[in-house]
Amino acid sequence: MNRILVVIFNEPSKVFEGRDALKGFDREDVLTLYAYAIIEKKPDGTTVVNEESDRQGLKTLLGGSVGALIGLLGGPAGVAIGTMAGFLTGVTAYLDSSGVSAEFVDEVSRELKPGKFALVAEIEEDWTRWVDLRMEELGGAVHRYALSDVKHAAHSDEITAMKADLALMKAEHAQASTERKAKLHEKINQLETKIQQRLEKVKQQRELNEAKAQARANVLKEKAARGRTEGDVKGATPSSKDQQKIA
């Protein structure tokens, strides 16, 4: 399952050990590490990125959720994103691009206090036990969020509802008085514009999801090829016993 993983630490050395653990799990095929970043929460509540990386330079695709989440975590200290979403320009867009919920951002924000560090990663994992055990050994608090297309399905449902409203307005318009027709005409135009905007957004998101799926497939293909190459190298290298026989 594709997830956003956030592990919060009290010490900078531990967050880097956590990063190394994820890289090790990736090499061992316990999980696939697509992108990660290490951030620090400053006394003024802002975040500083100390290190970041993504597979094969695919930051705009696979690292998009990581980058957007970091942007949200760098918001005003002590203000819940759920509250901000209705008032601050760009917050809703950040939530859409990150693929995570306001509740998850709030959960992480409450724990990521000034002076703490966080390892933020986009990963693919089927089992959480080994990551949890290792991060807990390092004193990290683990938070996960499953990335999915549920939000975009909700957009499709919203479009269906708006189209139904549009059909009702047009039916009313056909029978309305002249004065009423003018008001309905304006509402119909506004709703048609809104539907087109939603349709374009769904189209863009679908194309992005397809590009992400292909990018993830490329990463997995690269990992499989690397594993075969390493296996061939090991198989082609004589063991110590074989070397003794050759000698």
- Flag whether pLDDT at 75 surpasses 50: yes
pLDDT band, residue 9 (cuts 50/70/90): very high
- Flag whether pLDDT at 239 surpasses 50: no
Average pLDDT value for residue range 162-176: 89
Average pLDDT value for residue range 107-115: 90
Confidence (pLDDT) at 57: 47
Confidence (pLDDT) at 231: 61
Place of tokens 């939530």: 95
Q: What does the pLDDT look like over 138-157, one tens digit per residue?
A: 999 999 988 764 455 556 66
Choose among 80, 93, 70: nearest CA to 6: 70
- Flag whether pLDDT at 58 surpasses 50: no
Share of the chain above pLDDT 90, in %: 24
Gap between the Cα atoms of 210 and 216, Å rounded: 10
Place of tokens 């997830």: 3
Confidence (pLDDT) at 233: 53
**Most confident segment among 16-20, 107-111, 232-236:** 16-20
Confidence (pLDDT) at 51: 73
Confidence (pLDDT) at 85: 42
Confidence (pLDDT) at 242: 45
Q: What are 222's strand-pairing partners?
A: none
Q: What does the pLDDT look like over 81-101, one tens digit per residue?
A: 444 444 344 455 556 655 677
- Flag whether pLDDT at 237 surpasses 60: no
pLDDT band, residue 68 (cuts 50/70/90): confident
| 2-9 sheet: strands from edge to edge | 47-54, 31-41, 117-125, 2-9, 141-146
Gap between the Cα atoms of 222 and 116, Å rounded: 34
Confidence (pLDDT) at 220: 78
DSSP the chain: -EEEEEEEESSHHHHHHHHHHHHHHHHTTSEEEEEEEEEEE-TTS-EEEEEEEEGGG-HHHHTHHHHHHHHHHTSSTT--HHHHTTTSTTHHHHHHHH---HHHHHHHHHH--TT-EEEEEEEEES--HHHHHHHHHTTPEEEEEE--SHHHHHHHHHHHHHHHHHHHHHHHHHHS-HHHHHHHHHHHHHHHHHHHHHHHHHHHHHHHHHHHHHHHHHHHHHHHHHHHHHHHHHHHSPPHHHHHHH-
